[in-house]
Amino acid sequence: MVSTIGILGAGRVGSAIARTALTAGYTVHIAGSGPAADIQLIVDIVTPGAVAMTAADAVATADLVILAVPLHKYRSVDPATLAGKIVIDTMNYWQPIDGDLHEFTGDARSSSEVVGDYFPGARLVKTLNHIGYHDLEADARPAGDPERHGLALAGDPETAAVVAEVINRFGFDPVYAGSLAAGAAFEPGSPIFGGRHTARELLIELGPAVAEAA
């Protein structure tokens, strides 16, 4: 069971996820790229209740890790620390921010599959990437609310089921899309990315194979 969430990235997405996780009752450990002292003030003000740590400590103490760093910086995260961990990949390839990254533009696979090569021991699940950071708290709704939105997940089914419960507690209906390859269906440029969808609408966008399996 997940009780402590470690977030790598104390920027826009990491902070919004931290607040959402705190509201959902999780313990939150959060890190930037440097010492905890570098983000202490911002954590106190922006994500009160979260504990600022180094990245190594945030990962070591977490039941689940959330990668919320710019994609062009993912290799600054030590892959050895993530071995065996459940890890959510929120990262998107966004050229204006990330620059030209041939390893992604030159690879037909989903970005999470490419990232997964660098974190071979991590149990990677792609989600939380297709909702804007500003919508995460605004759109969260209790289970059963007719206005509740869905969030797609891609990864191995067993790990995705653990992450699905977290997404549910965050206030969204988790919609399993398939293996990490299926994450391509909700990357930037897809109809799902940046839109607001109910779980049913997401299933339709993801296609008949997913809808039939659901």
Residues forming contacts to ligand NAP in the complex (CB under 6 A) are: 8-14, 31-34, 55, 68-71, 73, 76-77, 90-92, 94, 129, 132-133
Specify the residue, 135 or 165, whose C-beta has the smaller distance to ligand NAP.
135
Residue 39 or 203 with smaller CB distance to ligand NAP: 39
Whichever of 195 and 211 has its CB closer to ligand NAP, that residue is 195
Distance from C-alpha of 85 to C-alpha of 60, rounded to nearest angstrom: 9
> What is the full DSSP assignment across 174-206?
EEEEESGGGGGGGSTTSSSTT----HHHHHHHH
Helices 157-170/12-23 angle, 10° precision: 80
Our CB check for ligand NAP shows the closer of 85 and 213 to be 85
CB of 128 to ligand NAP, least distance (A): 6
Beta carbon of residue 28, minimum distance to ligand NAP (angstroms, whole number): 14
* Three-state DSSP class for residue 131: coil
Q: Assess contact for 62 and 6: CB atoms under 8 A.
A: yes
CB of 209 to ligand NAP, least distance (A): 25
